Amino acid sequence: MSTPGRIEPGGFKELGPLNWAIAKIGARGIRRPRFSLMNVLGQHRLLFLTWLPLSGHLLYAGKLSRRDAEIVILRVGHLRGSEYELQQHRRLARSRGLDADTQARIFAGPDAEGLSDRERTLITATDEFVVTRGVSPETWQALSQHYTKPQLIEFCLLAAQYDGLAATIATLGVPLDFPD
């Protein structure tokens, strides 16, 4: 049995009509009765509406390829031990070309066999960003060989977003959407 969350997912009363509707649409998108993260964060009504566009942009419309964004997100989720992030993004990553074998290589780290140079560099940069709160000059130089300036900026914000989200999920005790 899991420990109850510090802030349980809310319903219509706690979220208000707009955030409740957004959470319902999100739940439909993941094919679940609720989207726990939205049902928790949505209880801070204005902050949720401010956070959601940035989060959505990074996930669906950013300058990084959707595949590369998922590599970063999966690696952050792995480093932070965020089962919530991993459950959500293992599924999404499959639809973005990252099969189970590729995901296993991402979790194994930058020295895993079968990774491209770009993937190794991206995983190394993610590791450094999450663990040391920065990226070494050598890794930055390698990353710069694969990505434009806007993509480099986005990498930093994406890694920071999912690192902070993992901490928020853990601190608030957001329940899994896929508990089985």
Instruction: Give the model confidence (pLDDT) of 6-49 as tens digits.
Output: 999 999 999 999 999 999 999 999 999 999 999 999 999 999 99
Eight-class DSSP state of 166: H
Sign of the dihedral through C-alpha 164, 167, 172, 177: positive
Looking at this protein, which amino acid is placed at residue 170? A
Regarding pTM above 0.85, the answer is yes
- Give per-residue pLDDT as tens, 48-80: 999 999 999 999 999 999 999 999 999 999 999
Q: How far is CA 5 from CA 36, 42, 44, 79, 94, in A?
A: 10, 15, 16, 22, 29
Alpha-helical regions (H) of 96-136: 100-108, 117-132
Domains of the chain by start residue, with CATH: 17-60 (no CATH), 63-171 (1.20.1290.10)
